[in-house]
Amino acid sequence: MPNRRCALLLPGAVAALVLSACSSSSPPSPSASATSSPPVATPTATPLPPDTMTVTVVSVGVGTFDLAAIPVATLRTNARLHGAASVKVHFVTHRSGRSLGSLDSVAINLAPGQTLAVTADCTDACDGATSVTATVSVASWPTGIGAVFTTISAAYTCGPCHAGHGYGNADGMITPSSTIGAGSPVVGFAVCHNAAGVILGGGSEQFVWPGGTSLAVVVPVVVNAAPASCALGASTGW
């Protein structure tokens, strides 16, 4: 009998154990709810204040000797926040009220607020010119600019020298505002004035930058009279 009773009680004991095991198990933890990240603000460029994107022709002149004529225009960019890129000067020479030859300068670049005298070489077609007019075109107005040259005083030399129309050289050391790679093209401009500041003539010369921080240059000039002063400027690609 005792054995039979134990056998009868065994199934109940197993069921109790199963129920006990089920009741002692931990309840399932609630799954973590997905949280959305706060939106990230996208930075926006601050717009530049209004700028005056024009180039003014400050003064003009033309130097002549024999068949050579060198028209000159002093330019000033009025922009303060933009450079003027690929600027060209269109010259028209005149004599006795009629137009002679016309031509464009090489393309140059101007930094914000920069002043630079630009010349062209009009031989034969502008022979005997006594005056010149100049207009300007600008390809673009970038906010980022490259190397810039500050206009400097130049030494004028001649030989033979003439009291009237003649020719000579303007010598000086040009220095860029930032590094220019060796082999880069640079165009140098010279302008010469009388004591009253009137343009007597000028000239230009193209160079290959040899490297380094500065370059001694000699620019040939054509003038209407012996100048009181000359100046050198230059431009390079951006």
Average pLDDT of the segment spanning 108-137? 96
Q: What is the pLDDT of residues 143-157, one digit of tens each?
A: 999 999 999 999 999
pLDDT, mean of residues 27-46: 61
- Residue 61: which pLDDT band, with cuts at 50, 70 and 90? very high
Is the pLDDT reported for residue 8 higher than 60? Answer: no
pLDDT value of position 10: 39
Instruction: Show the 3-state SS of the chain.
Output: CHHHHHHHHHHHHHHHHHHHHHHHCCCCCCCCCCCCCCCCCCCCCCCCCCCCCCEEEEEEEEEEECCEEEEEEEEEECCCCCCEEEEEEEEEEEECCEEEEEEECCCEEECCCCEEEEECCCCCCCCCCCEEEEEEECCECCCCCCCCECCEEEEEECCCCCCCCEEEEEEEEECECCCCCCCCEEEEEEEEECCCCCEEEEEEEEEECCCCCCEEEEEEEEECCCCCEEEEEEEECC
> What confidence score (pLDDT) does residue 23 get?
44
What is the rounded distance in angstroms from the CA atom of residue 133 to the CA atom of residue 121?
15
Task: Tell me how far the alpha carbon of residue 36 is from its chain's centroid.
Answer: 46
pLDDT band per the 50, 70, 90 thresholds, residue 47: confident
- Tell whether pTM > 0.85: no
Tens of pLDDT, residues 167-184: 999 999 999 999 999 999
Q: What is the mean pLDDT of residues 111-118?
A: 98
